[in-house]
Amino acid sequence: MGESHAGGKSKTSKRPVKWIIVTGGVLSGLGKGVAAAAIGQLLAPKYRVIPVKCDGYLNVDPGTMNPIEHGEVFVLDDGGEVDMDFGHYERFLKVTCSFEWNLTMGKVYERIREKERKGDYLGKTVQLIPHVTEFIKDWWKTIAKDEKADVMLLEVGGTVGDIENELYIEAARQLNQEVGRENIMYVHLTYVPKPEHVNEHKTKPTQQSVGMLRHRGILPEIILARCHEPLAEKEQKKIAIFADVKPDRVFSAQDVESIYEIPINFAEQGMLTIINEELGLNGLKQDSAWKKSVDRLTADHLKRITIAIAGKYTRLEDSYASIIEALHHCEAAFNVGIDLKWLETSEEHDLAKDMEGVHGVIVPGGFGSRGVEGKIATVKYCRENDIPFLGICYGLQMAIIEFARNICSLKDANSTEVKKVKHPVVDILPEQKQVTKKGGTMRLGAYPAVLKKGTAIHKLYGKDEVSERHRHRYEVNPEYHEILEKHGMVFSGVSPDGTLVEFIENPKLKYFVATQAHPELKSSLLKPAPLFYGLIKACVKK
């Protein structure tokens, strides 16, 4: 537990670790992770903030869950498959997270059962309280110590009252006694609706959810009120009375155009002063480069472009959260508005008609055979019409299949993930052949690649070796490397031993690149992922 991937030391001298516990109420899906990340963003320039997310489900990690149900699976450098909130944490806190920072009840119980079998609890009845809560608290404290954290930013998943999260809430309550009131702050995110027929914010759900938290022994110091528009003073005061906090501790977390505005909103409402009052974290000021980028991002863009995303989970944008964020980062970089067009590839449609007004195309990651032919047709359309194209993971594999079929004349070319064919141009990785278990067994995490000088991709990265994150089981079949290259496909980046194709491009076209990796996972507001940057640059030029 607690292997450090973040590097660096505590930014301040020895003082007790400060704990910020973020809980949620009323509804799920209010953006608790983003709100927590926004608080962290304000602290991160001066303090070493370590985010921890506690999920109640019994899966060990979200790696085996359907993205439509759970949103994107975020992958870390260390290969950990974690909750998508870690995407917000990395983007807002500029910290490289570790698999250990995502607790799930699946992980907790798995380890407790191991301990019990080993005899660690010999003679005892192992109980939810105290054994599981002690175990959870130890886990948090180990991270704090190993990471030399100044601030532990701890998000409890779900909403107060969910049975599956009770043990985290109980552990968070107990922590108060152990670390001292001056070292811990509880933040509760709730929902304040404004029903159409009454036309004022209704605070009852917030009152009740704070009540539920109090019933569990937690008295929040800050209320983040998710609302459509900022609360009126009278509404703020009403929540303050019921929540037993001063009115300046009730923050409006209103809908915003861009999530990157949230730290600025919080700071404008006095969050920095309150964090200082509560935890003695002083000398905080807003990050001016961040503010500048946010201004560019939210400006009225004179120029707008349309990017089509061809996938099979297009019904839920959360499935492609990091891709959408990487595009937002480019909006700020280029001062351009990007409209998204979703192409559901598992349904029949008129491609030429769909492509009207589209400036560039992304074929994102994916699994299984559904929607594959639609993706291949989309790639073909881009190649034939010289439309800027970025293929990500499965998107690279689709580009290889399309090229093999239509340029190398390997008519039935396909991936063995889809079907058995005469020309399996995409095939299972050798080390994956023996794998039988599904959880955490893909080629996961950061791997280096060596880039070929003179290629478009080398120019975009501006270096010879890069590291990006991966999550896949298949690769470009080495038996077909020669024929693909002979017909003009350029392997712009390969694994250091030269065996694995990591980046490709078609130099005959304006911008036609793809990667086996997921570069969207490392994109940030101030530093957009190079391949996304290249895509938008090509579209803007067009």
Binding site for ligand GLN (CB under 6 A): 365-367, 393-394, 417, 471-474
Work out the widest C-alpha separation in the chain, in whole angstroms.
Answer: 74
Clarify whether 393 is annotated catalytic. Answer: yes
Backbone angles phi and psi of 135, in degrees to 5? -60, -45
Helix (H) or strand (E) holding 216: none
Q: Return the number of the residue (31 or 365) whose C-beta is nearest ligand GLN.
A: 365
Q: Return the number of the residue (188 or 471) whose C-beta is nearest ligand GLN.
A: 471
Distance of CA 230 to the CA centre of its chain: 27
Residue ranges of E strands in 157-196: 184-191
Q: Return the number of the residue (332 or 531) whose C-beta is nearest ligand GLN.
A: 531
CB of 368 to ligand GLN, least distance (A): 7
Alpha-carbon span 265 to 267, nearest angstrom: 5
Clarify whether 470 is annotated catalytic. Answer: no
Q: Which of 90, 147, 331, 520 is catalytic?
A: 520
User: For 47, which DSSP code?
Assistant: S
Q: Which of 5, 423, 458, 518 is catalytic?
A: 518
CB of 376 to ligand GLN, least distance (A): 14
CB of 474 to ligand GLN, least distance (A): 3
Burial of 498 per CB tally in 10 Å (0-12, 13-18, 19+): exposed
Q: Return the number of the residue (162 or 373) whose C-beta is nearest ligand GLN.
A: 373
Q: Which of 54, 393, 408, 539 is catalytic?
A: 393
> In sequence order, what are the residues at sequence separation of 6 or more whose Cβ sits closer than 8 angstroms to the Cβ of residue 459?
none
CB of 100 to ligand GLN, least distance (A): 23
For residues 401 and 425, is the Cβ–Cβ distance under 8 A? yes
CB of 360 to ligand GLN, least distance (A): 19
Q: Return the number of the residue (63 or 360) whose C-beta is nearest ligand GLN.
A: 63
CB of 473 to ligand GLN, least distance (A): 4
CA atoms within 13 A on the CB side of 540: 18
* Residues in the chain, total: 542
CB of 242 to ligand GLN, least distance (A): 47
Give 474's strand partners.
Answer: 428
Q: Return the number of the residue (50 or 390) whose C-beta is nearest ligand GLN.
A: 390
Q: Return the number of the residue (359 or 375) whose C-beta is nearest ligand GLN.
A: 375
Residue nearest to ligand GLN (CB): 365
Which tokens go with 84? 């998508």
CA dihedral (347, 348, 352, 354) positive or negative: negative
Measured CA distances, 238 to 206, 222, 378 (Å): 10, 14, 54
Clarify whether 518 is annotated catalytic. Answer: yes
Neighbours of 323 (CB within 10 A): 27
For residues 478 and 472, is the Cβ–Cβ distance under 8 A? no
Alpha-carbon span 396 to 390, nearest angstrom: 8
Annotated catalytic sites, by residue?
A: 393, 518, 520
